[in-house]
Amino acid sequence: MSQSQAFTQFTAKFPAYAQTAAIDELRTNEYGRLEREGQIYLDYTGGGLHADSQIHAHLKMLTERTLGNPHSNNPTSLAMTKLVESARSYVLSYFNASPDEYIAVFTPNASGALRVVGEAYRFCEGSQYALTFDNHNSVNGIREFAKAKGAQVHYIPVVAPELRLDMEATVEQLESGDRSKNNLFIFPAQSNFSGVQHSLGLIEMAHECGWDVLLDCAAFAPTNRCNIGRLKPDFAAFSFYKMFGFPTGLGCLLMRRDKLHKLTRPWFAGGTIQIASVQGNGHYLHTNEAAFEDGTVDYLNIPAIETGLRHIESIGMHLIHERVVCLTGWLLDTLTQLRHANGRPLVRVFGPTNTVARGGTVTVILLDKNGRVIDDQRVEELANHANISLRTGCFCNPGAGEVAHELTSREMVTFFETGKPVSFSELRMAMLEQFEKSVSAIRVSVGLVTNFADVYQCAMFMRGFLDKTTEEIGPAKFPSDHLLRDSA
């Protein structure tokens, strides 16, 4: 079917797409580099794209203003402080978080936000740290802080094929917390592996059971409204480049003021203290966001956050969301219908195959006509030839991957028993050889300025694998370890 015939069918099935035409215009005016370079960008879960106007606005500020390190009383410093604090207020208001209730801490990225909470949370003997299987590694890593302070770590399973939470296990876990201790629960509002959007009602449920909740919004915020003031998580983590592409070195942590006492910073640094003394051997931390921002913040880039948020607001999150739902729906329908001549499916989706409670992240493996898994690296290599940016690997989300690929704890433990480090490519090879299992997949993700042509080209690319065997498709030529990092 030609692209124009497919588009007619698409708009008949997803009529709401027509209401998002303003984004096509925006794409032409502001993201023209996609067309100029012939890029089919489908890695929005990895990173968002910036509009030209964001860069122009930033360049204007940099070239017109003389700005110094903030938090001093000289004119250039005062000017910078004003811009930084304006961006901070804007972040709070964008997420509908009242400054009376929340503080916004600038961090290098979402991982930085997660780390601030992880290392400072007052875990103790008898505390629990509960997290869902499908968390990003930057959430998994918090278990090291928890264990070091004597807390128990509990993973709540997700269930294949949709990779949604096992609700019975969730309720059981949350009800098991000892209310006299500090208990922390973290889950992603949207999984960066499966696109699953977990119920945000879990926040209230966890609160009722006496847990503190950190909501990881990194993959959710780019295409969904994040009403933090209404949801009331104790902590929420974001990466701004995922929302609007630029700047790449900034994220934020929203923290409820009434939960700051649950954190004890393990150190102090420049910027975080009111006073410190060498001879007095003491220090007093600030009592606001400054206590959590180590050293000099990325001040020249922080104003670009406000620009980015204003950009999103000028488009309208409802429009972005609607468009992503339509394109994801079409992609899922089309990919799941692809069948080899012998009737076998080409695509297996790891996650929901419809648009209910899911975002625009579609993770799949391709199967050849004999039902054998096609090497994802080979798929990526061939996608590269077509200028399609998709992502392969485990996406820093080993738990969801282990459930999706049916990897068992017995199998996984073998790689950690000896303590001898194993690289991702070694793990990949060993799992194939020892257990005939794959550990990686292919992720296609749509976002802010994806258009129908992008998803159509992607579906046509995948169609090209129909009726072929893995031998005919051949091995990947580029399996080098630097490309195989367990990345975002």
Ligand X SMILES: Cc1ncc(COP(=O)(O)O)c(C=O)c1O
226 is an active site residue: no
Q: Which residues of 101-128 are buried (b: 16+ CB within 10 A; e: fewer)?
A: ebbbbbbbbbbbbbbbbbbbbebeeebb
Based on the shown chain and the rule CB under 6 A, indicate whether residue 109 belongs to the binding site for ligand X: yes
Window 125 to 184, contacts with ligand X (CB under 6 A): 136, 138
Cα distance between residue 26 and residue 154, in whole Å: 45
d(CA 14, CA 428): 39
Choice among 217, 226, 326, 396 that is catalytic: 396
Question: Element (H or E) spanning 470, and its range?
Answer: helix 470-473
Binding segment toward ligand X, per CB under 6 A, in 94-102, 212-220, 425-433, 436-444: 212-220
End-to-end CA distance of the chain: 34
Kindly state the smallest distance separating residue 219's Cβ from ligand X, in Å.
4
The one-letter amino acid code at 233 reads P
| Separation of CA 243 from chain center | 10
Q: Cα separation of 304 and 246, whole Å?
A: 7
User: Phi/psi of residue 145, each to 5°?
Assistant: -65, -45
Kindly give the residue spans of alpha helices, DSSP state H, lying in 338-463: 376-385, 398-404, 409-413, 424-435, 452-463
Phi, psi of 347 (to 5 degrees): -120, 135
User: In the complex with ligand X, which residue's Cβ is closer, 254 or 473?
Assistant: 254
Run of H or E including 165: strand 164-165
CA separation for the pair 391, 407 (Å, rounded): 21
State which of positions 216-245 bind ligand X (CB under 6 A): 216, 218-219, 239
Distance between CA atoms of residues 53 and 31, nearest Å: 9
Shortest separation between residue 218's beta carbon and ligand X, angstroms:
3
Determine, following the binding rule CB under 6 A, whether residue 111 of this chain makes contact with ligand X. Answer: yes
- By C-alpha distance, which of 328, 430, 424, 436 is closest to 377? 424
Give the shortest CB-8-to-ligand X separation in angstroms. 35
- The first and second tokens of residue 184, run together, are 């922390």
**Interacting span for ligand X (CB under 6 A) from 175-183, 214-222, 326-334, 473-481:** 214-222
Residues in contact with ligand X, counted by CB under 6 A, come to a total of: 13
Nearer to ligand X, 109 or 377 (CB): 109
Q: CA-CA distance, 179 to 115, in Å (whole number)?
A: 24
CB of 361 to ligand X, least distance (A): 9
444 binds ligand X (CB under 6 A): no
Q: Can you tell me the distance from the alpha carbon of 128 to that of 153, in angstroms, rounded to the nearest whole number? A: 6
Q: How far apart are CB 136 and ligand X at their closest, in Å?
A: 4
**Cα dist. 349→331, 365, 371, 448 in Å?**
11, 7, 14, 22
Beta carbon nearer to ligand X, 70 or 222: 222
Choice between 438 and 445, CB closer to ligand X: 445
Cβ atoms of 285 and 98 within 8 Å: the answer is no
CB 370, min distance to ligand X, A: 34
Residue 480 CA from chain centroid, whole number: 25
Judged by beta carbon, residue 177 or residue 251, the one nearer ligand X is 251
Find the binding residues for ligand X in span 117-136 (CB under 6 A).
136
Complex with ligand X: residue 192 or 450, whichever CB lies closer = 192
* Distance of closest approach, residue 447 Cβ to ligand X, in angstroms: 12
As measured in angstroms, the least distance from the Cβ of 468 to ligand X is 32
Q: Cβ closer to ligand X: 251 or 329? A: 251
- Which residues contact residue 278 at a Cβ distance below 8 angstroms, ignoring those fewer than 6 apart? none
Could you say which residues in the range 249-308 bind ligand X, by CB under 6 A? 251
| Nearest residue (CB) to ligand X, 294 versus 375 | 294
Give the residue, chosen from 202, 309, 403, 488, that forms a contact with ligand X under the rule CB under 6 A: 488
In the block, tokens 């009376």 appear at: 100
Among candidates 231, 202, 237, which has minimal Cα distance to 218?
237
- Name the residue nearer to ligand X (CB basis): 216 or 402: 216
Q: 3-state class of 367 per DSSP?
A: strand
CB of 113 to ligand X, least distance (A): 8
Residues that bind ligand X (CB under 6 A): 109-111, 136, 138, 188, 192, 216, 218-219, 239, 251, 488
Active-site annotation, residues = 396
